[in-house]
Amino acid sequence: MLKDRINWPQGKGAAATIGINLEGQYFAKLYYPDGGAVQCPDVNTGEILQVAMEGLEDGLPKILDVLDEYKVKVTFYVAAAMADEWPDKIKEIANHGHEIACMGYYHENLGTLSPDEQCDVLAKAKARLEEISGTSVKGFRMPAGEMTEETLKIVKELGFTYSSSLSDDDVPYVRDGSGLVELPIRWELYDLPYFAYTWEPEIPPSQDRVACADDVLENWMCELEASKKYGCLFNLQLDPQAIGEQGRLFMLREVIENIQSDPTVWYATAGEIASQFEIK
Instruction: Identify the three-state secondary structure at position 84.
Output: helix
- For residues 19-40, give the mean pLDDT: 79
Q: What percent of the chain has pLDDT over 70?
A: 92
pTM of the full predicted structure? 0.94
Q: What is the domain class of 2-275 according to CATH?
A: alpha beta
Q: What is the pLDDT of residues 68-122, one digit of tens each?
A: 999 999 999 999 999 999 999 999 999 999 999 999 999 999 999 999 999 999 9
Q: What is the pLDDT of residues 65-82, one digit of tens each?
A: 999 999 999 999 999 999
- For residue 32, pLDDT over 80 is answered with no
| pLDDT reported for residue 185 | 97
Pairing outcome for strands 181-182 and 173-174: antiparallel
Phi and psi at residue 196, to the nearest 5°: -65, 135
Is 193:200 a contact under the CB 8 Å cutoff?
Answer: no
- For residue 2, pLDDT over 60 is answered with no
Is 196:204 a contact under the CB 8 Å cutoff?
Answer: yes
| Strand blocks (E) in the chain | 14-22, 75-78, 99-102, 139-140, 162-163, 173-174, 181-182, 233-238, 265-267
- Compute how many other C-beta atoms are within 10 angstroms of the C-beta atom of residue 201: 18
Phi and psi at residue 75, to the nearest 5°: -110, 125
Is 21:237 a contact under the CB 8 Å cutoff?
Answer: yes
- Listed in sequence order, the residues at least 6 apart from 45 whose beta carbon sits closer than 8 Å to its beta carbon are none
Query: Which residue would you say has higher pLDDT here, 194 or 156?
Result: 156
d(CA 142, CA 10): 30
- pLDDT grade for 217, boundaries at 50, 70 and 90: very high
| pLDDT reported for residue 168 | 93
d(CA 57, CA 198): 18
Mean residue pLDDT across the chain:
91
